[in-house]
Amino acid sequence: MKRAVIFTLLSFALWACTKPHSVVKNRQNLYFDKAERLLNEQKSDSAFYYFEKSASTSKDSLSVAMAYNYMASIQSDAGDIYGAQESLTTSLKYLDERKKENRYCLSSNYNELGMTSSRLGNFDSALSYLDSAIKYTDEQTYRYTFLNNKANVYRRKGSYKQALRIYRSILNVTEKGGKYYARLLSNMTYTQWLDNTAYPAAGGLRYALQLRQQLKDHWGENASYGHLSDFYSATKADSALIFAKAMYTIAKELHSPDDQLSALEKLIHLSPGDKSKGYFDKFNRLNDSLQTARNAAKNQFALIRYQSEKHKADNLRLMQENTKKEDEIFRQRLYLAIGLILLIGTTIWFRNRRQRLLLEADNRIRHYRLNLMQKVHDVVANGIYRVMNEVDYSDNLDKGYIVSQLDEMYEQSRKISQDEDINVQEDFSDKLERLANAFKSSDIKLAFSGNEPELWAKVNHRVKRQLEIVVQELLVNMAKHSHASQAIIDFEQIRDDLVMKYRDNGVGFPTDIHKGKGLQNTENRINAIGGHLTFEAHEQRGARIQIVTPIQ
């Protein structure tokens, strides 16, 4: 149970860090001043609008960079991570690292890029950005904050030794008894426990909580309750439940939906069955509400950006309409130059086109061979393994059934050799159930959720065919490599997409995983039908895979 909630806590701990923004002297921009006032009044949408206007009208590059920095912070808080990264990279374009007055905004941008990258699981990029933030900061306090953020990234990455070295280096120069000391102590103690679950972390975690309570640091209390709940989850479930409830209470007081979700996730795992269901219902309602709000915010930010760009385009069009015609001689020379360029470009294009056609022909042959190898692996090899598995673990398996399965594989093999599509018309829900039954045994429990005929009736046959092969590949890997005793596959329609989630309690993926042929083939199949696959690489926590693909 302890390992199951570590990811949630790590995510919270990272974002509980102080985020220093580029708050420097006013650059004499009325839109910027108004945006800051609105942001202080917690009117984020209006503040974003005026920061956008400030960025589009200011002639001072630092003011423009600061405006984009603020917009990124607003987007990040609203859950629009990709939008925040776009604003941050735009902000960097207006900054000159050689200018001292730009260094404050540079360090803030790189810190925010590190935080967003870590939130997306891009830990190496996050560490690189945070190194840049440390490089450009001139204030020791912010330097310690960036180092703490860097240690948190190492912790999320699972590099506990590196994280602990940074925590200790900061803790040794931090005054005892303050908020920052309590945060460092809690983070370091918790990381020591993650690195060695036998480490007696209770004393340090409780002392950090006591300091935070004395200082009325409610955000810090929230983090401490999460740490303590995880620490006790494996040894004292009743204590873990008490701290999870305390975290949920204070998260509601802080109006932090993300922390409420984290606390509810712990309560679901720690509570008895009847109460766990109640917390599960609360979790779903809150999560749905949060996603709706964040989607609305993303749309609002996109609309503001669109209106701003449209205004710029309209102004440019008016300027172009008012521009005088160029001198006739200049135009003739321009036409001559364009003609020469076109002549040269056409010659080069024809030569390159010939080379490209040769290369494409070679690639088609290579692709055909790879596709044939993939079909043999997915259809024949995995199919034979499935039948072997059924023979090993099924007590009531008659000869006729085995013959029918082998005959089906023979037909599929023949179609592969003749380069025909494999299109077996039958109830897809029943087909998946039979596939699951082939891998069930006394040692392996396997369950499907959402495998309903009504769902599959909406799904395109090609998508179903690829998903069948992917599911078979996952189950073969589970049976052969993962040492799992339980596996669950969920199917769900979300708008026009089909979402499949796979999880088991096996050894999981190593953090330095290299994609083998099977996993690469699986990813290629999903990409071929317009979907995408994500997986969580973390040893000893079981496999976690999510596939999102269009229904049609």
Q: For residue 496, give both structure tokens.
A: 């026009």
Are 542 and 503 within 8 A, CB to CB?
yes
Pair (364, 246) in one structural domain? no
Pair (435, 363) in one structural domain? no
Pair (478, 529) in one structural domain? yes
Give the per-residue pLDDT at 114: 94
Pair (438, 398) in one structural domain? no
Whole-angstrom distance, CA of residue 190 vs CA of residue 205: 7
> 491 has which bridge partners?
500
Pair (106, 49) in one structural domain? yes
Are 77 and 112 within 8 A, CB to CB?
no
Tell me which of 156, 185, 214 is where a domain ends.
156
486, containing H or E segment: strand 486-494
Tell me which of 100, 124, 156 is where a domain ends.
156
Whole-angstrom distance, CA of residue 374 vs CA of residue 376: 5
Pair (53, 148) in one structural domain? yes
Residues 6+ apart with CB under 8 A from 52: 67, 71, 304, 305, 308
pLDDT in tens, 237-265: 999 999 999 999 999 998 888 899 898 99
By the 10 Å C-beta count (0-12 exposed, 13-18 middle, 19+ buried), 348 is classed as exposed
Pair (3, 143) in one structural domain? yes
Q: Is residue 183 part of a domain?
A: no
Q: Is residue 406 part of a domain?
A: yes
Q: Which domain holds residue 392?
A: 353-422
Instruction: Please count the structural domains in the chain.
Output: 4
Q: Is residue 53 part of a domain?
A: yes
The greatest distance separating any two alpha carbons of the chain, rounded to the nearest whole angstrom, comes to 92
Q: For residue 242, give both structure tokens.
A: 């008490």
Pair (386, 499) in one structural domain? no
pLDDT in tens, 5-15: 333 333 333 33
Pair (41, 71) in one structural domain? yes
Residues 6+ apart with CB under 8 A from 384: 409
Tell me which of 422, 441, 470 is where a domain ends.
422
Q: Is residue 192 part of a domain?
A: no
CATH number of the CATH domain containing 219 = 1.25.40.10
Q: Is residue 189 part of a domain?
A: no
Q: Is residue 343 part of a domain?
A: no
Pair (508, 551) in one structural domain? yes
Q: Where are the alpha helices (DSSP H) in 16-121?
A: 30-40, 44-57, 61-77, 81-93, 103-119
Are 60 and 105 within 8 A, CB to CB?
no
Q: Is residue 45 part of a domain?
A: yes
Residue type, 230: D
Pair (446, 543) in one structural domain? yes
Whole-angstrom distance, CA of residue 379 vs CA of residue 175: 64
Give 495-532 as a DSSP string: TTEEEEEEEESSS---TT----HHHHHHHHHHHHTT-E
Give the per-residue pLDDT at 27: 47
Whole-angstrom distance, CA of residue 451 vs CA of residue 489: 9
Q: Is residue 56 part of a domain?
A: yes
| Number of other CB atoms surrounding residue 536 within 10 Å | 16
Residue ranges for the chain with pLDDT beneath 50:
1-27, 418, 420, 424
Region of 536 please: left (phi>0), alpha (psi -120 to 50) or beta.
Answer: beta
Whole-angstrom distance, CA of residue 307 vs CA of residue 271: 49
Give the per-residue pLDDT at 539: 61
Pair (102, 112) in one structural domain? yes
Residue type, 8: T
